Amino acid sequence: MEFFKDGGRGQASLFNVIKAYSIHDKEVGYCQGSAFIVGLLLMQMPEEEAFAVLVRLMENYRLRELYKPAMTDLGLCMFQLECLVQEQV
């Protein structure tokens, strides 16, 4: 898939899935960081399946908490990662 080429098929699929999710979950809406997850999904499955898996990931594994506008859970995860790294150094 061509995710980085202007007008590439991958970009259109990426846009479609992210746009569909932003309509599905208005609280999260569009978040640029979700493109990493969606891109990986699209490398393995068609758009419709990628959307369904994204919804399950966001809801069942609380990933949507990382993408909410305040991103408070993302800050918590980064703090936890920093603590783990410091323990190993």
- The encoded tokens of residue 65 equal 């908490």
pLDDT value at residue 7: 74
Q: Does domain 2-88 have CATH number 1.10.8.270?
A: yes
Longest dimension (CA), the chain: 45
* Full-model pTM: 0.80
Residue 55 has what DSSP assignment? H
Contact yes or no for 43/50 (Cβ under 8 A): no
pLDDT along the chain (89 residues), means of 10: 71 95 96 91 97 97 86 84 92
Question: 18, 7, 11, 88: which is closest to 58 by C-alpha?
Answer: 18
- Amino acid letter for position 4: F
pLDDT value at residue 2: 67
